[in-house]
Structure 1
Amino acid sequence: MNEPAAALIARGVHKRFLAKETGKIAHAVVDVSLAVQAGALTALVGPDGAGKTTLLRMAAGLMKADEGKLEVLGIDVAAHPQAVQDRISYMPQRFGLYEDLSVQENLNLYADLHGVPQALREKRFAQLLRMTDLARFTARPAGKLSGGMKQKLGLACTLVHPPELLLLDEPTAGVDPLSRRELWEIVRQMIQDEQLTVLVTTAYLDEAEHSARIFVLHEGKLLAQGTPEEIRRHARNLCFVALPPQGQPPRILQARLLDDAESVIDAVPQGGAVRFVRRAEVKSKNLDALLDGISLKPVEPRLEDGFMVLLRKRRDVPPLDTKALDTAASGDNQNPPENLDEIVIEVRDLVRRFGDFTAVDHISFSVRRGEIFGVLGPNGAGKTTTFRMLCGLLPPTSGFLQVAGVDLRHARAAARRKIGYMSQKFALYGDLTVMENLEFFGSAYGLYGTRLRERISIVIQQFDLAGSTDSASGQLPGGFKQRLAMAVGLLHEPEILFLDEPTSGTDPLKRREFWRRITALSEVGTTIIITTHFMEEAEYCDRIVIQDAGRLLALGTPKEVREQAGEKDAILSMEEAFIGIVERGRQRNGIAAVKEARP
């Protein structure tokens, strides 16, 4: 703990908050002691509510610890917060760009705020614009940038004053894989060139793999620490890949494995198969019975595997109640519908223009009943515009669009009664309680009296909201808000459920729980349309579409898309396939644009 190269040292740090709803004390950080190595990348990981953001904010001098001591760059941060802030930079989850100002004006503003001398600005700006590839867009308003470009501009603004310590709070949440890769290249280059110390929180465990050291937090306590290899070691000899029966989606086998919490710690679709982590104490015959003859291949553990083993060892991290999910998901329809080949969404030559800009350019696809259909693409690809047109929230410029048997050009309101919607950002009424939101939106969907009470009771059970019905929705933790938003979207038992990046910024535990619910809904015939930047989630889908610059680049099952990306002997990850398809599409379209421009 007395390492001379430590840029941050915490000794017995505690932080408590008074919960307004209950009047009880909430322990956000509990007796945490750790040291962050200087000149390296260190990651804080853990479930939602683990205390990661609170620890970062204390390190940035934005709040004080209630007990213990926190030293940053050798300075007592509680006693001298301004001295620390003069030498560090902090990028919170929602970095404050000024959207009406241009890229250059935002850089100038943050340089003014940090007191960067004029003589140093030209060289620093040139360096940051080159690294972020924003030099071509200096005159563009920040509000007109894609999500990935906004994150890169936010990072550039954070770095206009060269810091000794950079604090990043989930910098890639809601960012596509291409932009995510570019952002991390910038961070790694700064570590290499300027010996910058970086402390990051992230929900992407593959990002933490590149850290020199990892600290695992759970409910405010330090659960484990070590190098990535030391964290992976907790899952050594416990990781396997199983290939599901021919024609069966991997998510079905994954659900069966997750349902047996006594034998399996974790399971996730991967490359057309299912990767799972068994419990060390489980007997092989129990696992053989569970797999029913499916052969297994042992694989090396990943960081996420070790992370899940650590969390599942905790008695206060219960397994998912999957039986309740399956029962509640079925609602009144205890038997799955027979007409699963029915086309419920049909899109032909769909176009959406905003003035001279074409956001969606002649795309076509169809979706069958009960299908899980993924809409993927980089930030700014047009997928959100496509999504909003499918939901009836935005009229198309031209083309044919039919949802749930309704032509959306003429009867958008009629179609909306048959669909449910969950936006990326929490869009319910924060001042209303959970129960008041359910009652309000239930009546808006045309539910009243006994039927409304029945549906509210079902979704409260399904989404484990019973203990929070009197709590203000805006004060709920992120995971609770996600469950409430999904409960509201399913109140009226829609034929089609639209989910817009529903797991953005959530940890692996919450993502498993979410997808187990989606699998249960799909099994009883609910059609799911989902956008996501977690490429592993594309493996849950029956089919996916990848678009960029408004154009459709790929359409098919996850296996077909991986094959289109060049998968042969070696299995590509969906992220590798996605990046390959998008990069080739951009090269192809760029060459076409050059040819069209020639006389």
Structure 2
Amino acid sequence: MTGATVVAEGLQRSFEAPGGGSLRAIDTLSLTVRPGELTALVGPDGAGKTTLLRMIAGLLTPGGGRLEVLGTDVTRDPQRVQDRISYMPQRFGLYEDLSVQENLDLYADLHRVPQDERGPRFTRLLKMTDMARFTARPAGKLSGGMKQKLGLACTLVRAPELLLLDEPSVGVDPLSRRDLWAIVQQLVEDDGLSVIVSTAYMDEAARCAQVHVMNHGRILASGTPKALCARVQGLTFAAVPPAGVHPRVLQARMLAAPEVIVDATPHGGAVHYVRQPQADAARLAEALDGAASAPRGEGLEDAFMLLLRQHDNGTHHALPEPDERTPASAVAPDNPNVSPIISVRNLVRRFGDFTAVASTSFEVLPGEIFGLLGPNGAGKTTTFRMLCGLLPATEGQLEVAGRDLRTARARARARIGYVAQKFSLYGNLSVRENLEFFGGAYGLRGRALRTQVRAALERFDLDPTARSGELPAGYKQRLAMATGLLHAPQILFLDEPTSGIDPLARRAFWRTITGLAGAGVTIIVTTHFMEEAEYCDRIAIQDAGEMLVIGTPQQVRDKAGADRGTDMNAAFIGIVEQARATREAAV
């Protein structure tokens, strides 16, 4: 028996590779997790985080090394470990036809929770998750954030000694994410619960006592967030683009110089970047392209990106080259000489007595990146589906690519591309077969289809023979993007395309999008990563079916009363909470 919650020494685990041979998912990994703490596992897609969690949970047997959980050798007695822990996987199994209370009862039955303990435990969990008002509501009628909170409550009905959470906030809006983490932190602080969480959000990892950075099945670094941030001390800066240059355009130019720039992201009208430790001053000045630069404080994501770049030596998650057939430049939304490519007037969508979208109006210009944001259940997905022609409007006017969606929906849809949140790929088909199928669906035939498929494979660095269902999440995203662009659409709709993928893959995605916008493609995107709103020319925030604000990222920050440097996450939460308080006061 040790004092540690988890001890791994020389841990290994391999799987059969699709083309034969074996793939080492965990490679001689060693770590220690201390009791009563919040511990984070972070790393790119395929780093081994889920495999490690499943081994700790006793669901996978290690292929070598030693793994002790709560003082028990998990290889020898996995059931003893499973009786003392709870594990919430990425796709937690709620029963959507059952009510909130019935789901809690079912999981209490499965875990053999004594009847006399259930009442107090349910009361506490429902209060903690703020779901006491919804016990009779079917789980399938809950918003995404509420489903995650219910999943967490079901996971906790057994009062575990160790809680394992695999990407618990994927697809969850910032407000629900904040609530979810408040619950987890309360459990750690009040109950001394040990929690291990894997996450793609570095701001979540920064809340943890210990962070383990993984890649290719190995631990690259471990320590407190402060200790990891110290690795990039003196290497973090903010660059302000010259007048008329959108931050995303400067970012794309900077990312094209990996020999001097480790990472770059738009933030508050500037570009936050990490320079290489031995960057050549002249080459760095060239990459900045006239932008004024000043030091800034370092963050955990800065350290994460430096560690991954150093480990992969610039080869992993190579960024696809952006399409720059015309110079990339931001669209001026108030330009009177440009006609909108999307025009929405008094758009309404009702489902029975429920109004999902209430009298919404806005326009989108050609070549603009337009972000549609909102909490889970806000109405943005309904608006998005109406824009795509997938759902008819109840009232109002909607024109897309010069076509009225009420009378010419098929002709309008021929000019748009669509990438769904779950990518809608055929997992049993190869990459090439998926491209050929979707190309045919868009009307491509013969030589035109072969040419477009060949170009897509090269552009997105895809293996044509790989089975799509076995691709890492980042490469599934690339394939989904490739299918949506095969017919060279004027408008590309992206529904939470970066949900669940790591920062490296997100950089690759947005570099591609910047190039597409520069080539004149109009982009409509929904996302729960609020920092991605910084890439947009304009954003719209919805809640309860109503449009709360439309404007540039800076105009949205101004609306929230935030400073220029305030992150978009805080501005988003401020705007939504202010609108909700106003609605409640009016009732």
TM (norm. structure 1) is 0.95
Deviations 1:502-523 (A, max 9, x none): 0001111000000000000000
Look up the match of 1:490.
Answer: 485
Provide the secondary structure at the position in 1 that maps to 2:341.
Answer: strand
Deviations 1:41-70 (A, max 9, x none): 000000100000000000000010000111
Deviations 1:14-63 (A, max 9, x none): 000002x3012000000011100100000000010000000000000001
Look up the match of 2:357.
Answer: 360
Deviations 1:278-322 (A, max 9, x none): 001012232223324422110111000011111111245427766
Provide the secondary structure at the position in 2 that maps to 1:179.
Answer: helix
Look up the match of 1:534.
Answer: 529
Measure the CA separation in 1 of the matches of 2:283 and 2:129.
Answer: 52
Measure the CA separation in 2 of the matches of 1:93 and 1:292.
Answer: 42
Provide the secondary structure at the position in 2 that maps to 1:421.
Answer: strand
The change in CA–CA distance for 1:74 and 1:292 in structure 2 (over 3 A counts) is same
Provide the secondary structure at the position in 2 that maps to 1:257.
Answer: helix
- Native 8 Å contact 1:497 1:526 kept in 2: yes
Provide the secondary structure at the position in 2 that maps to 1:369.
Answer: coil
- Native 8 Å contact 1:336 1:524 kept in 2: no
Deviations 1:428-459 (A, max 9, x none): 21121111111111111111111111111111
Look up the match of 1:575.
Answer: 569
- Native 8 Å contact 1:337 1:525 kept in 2: no
Q: Deviation at 1:571? A: 2.6
- Give the aligned residue type for 1:366: E
Provide the secondary structure at the position in 1 that maps to 2:147.
Answer: helix
Provide the secondary structure at the position in 2 that maps to 1:161.
Answer: coil
The change in CA–CA distance for 1:591 and 1:25 in structure 2 (over 3 A counts) is same
- Give the aligned residue type for 2:352: G
- Native 8 Å contact 1:60 1:88 kept in 2: yes
- Native 8 Å contact 1:51 1:219 kept in 2: yes
- Native 8 Å contact 1:336 1:525 kept in 2: no
Residue from 145, 156, 160 that aligns with 1:148: 145
Look up the match of 2:542.
Answer: 547
Residue from 346, 351, 364 that aligns with 1:349: 346
Measure the CA separation in 1 of the matches of 2:318 and 2:428.
Answer: 30
Does 1:34 find its partner at 2:31? yes
Residue from 313, 322, 325 that aligns with 1:326: 322
- Native 8 Å contact 2:267 2:534 kept in 1: yes
- Native 8 Å contact 1:261 1:319 kept in 2: no
- Native 8 Å contact 1:499 1:529 kept in 2: yes
Look up the match of 2:213.
Answer: 216
- Native 8 Å contact 2:348 2:360 kept in 1: yes
Measure the CA separation in 2 of the matches of 1:260 and 1:345.
Answer: 35
Look up the match of 2:470.
Answer: 475
Residue from 369, 373, 377 that aligns with 1:372: 369
Provide the secondary structure at the position in 2 that maps to 1:402.
Answer: strand
Residue from 224, 235, 238 that aligns with 1:238: 235
Deviations 1:474-498 (A, max 9, x none): 1222111111111000000000000
Quote the sequence identity (%).
60
Consecutive unaligned residues of structure 2, counting only runs of 5 or more, are: none
Provide the secondary structure at the position in 2 that maps to 1:362.
Answer: strand
Provide the secondary structure at the position in 1 that maps to 2:159.
Answer: coil
Measure the CA separation in 2 of the matches of 1:382 and 1:315.
Answer: 41
- Give the aligned residue type for 1:58: M
Residue from 33, 37, 59 that aligns with 1:62: 59
Measure the CA separation in 1 of the matches of 2:218 and 2:447.
Answer: 45
Measure the CA separation in 2 of the matches of 1:68 and 1:289.
Answer: 49
- Give the aligned residue type for 2:78: P
- Give the aligned residue type for 2:581: Q
- Native 8 Å contact 1:13 1:65 kept in 2: yes
Measure the CA separation in 2 of the matches of 1:581 and 1:444.
Answer: 41
Two-structure CA RMSD over aligned residues (Å): 1.7
- Native 8 Å contact 2:495 2:525 kept in 1: yes
Look up the match of 1:83.
Answer: 80
Consecutive unaligned residues of structure 1, counting only runs of 5 or more, are: 595-599
- Give the aligned residue type for 1:515: W
- Give the aligned residue type for 1:228: P
Q: Deviation at 1:342? A: 2.8
Look up the match of 1:135.
Answer: 132
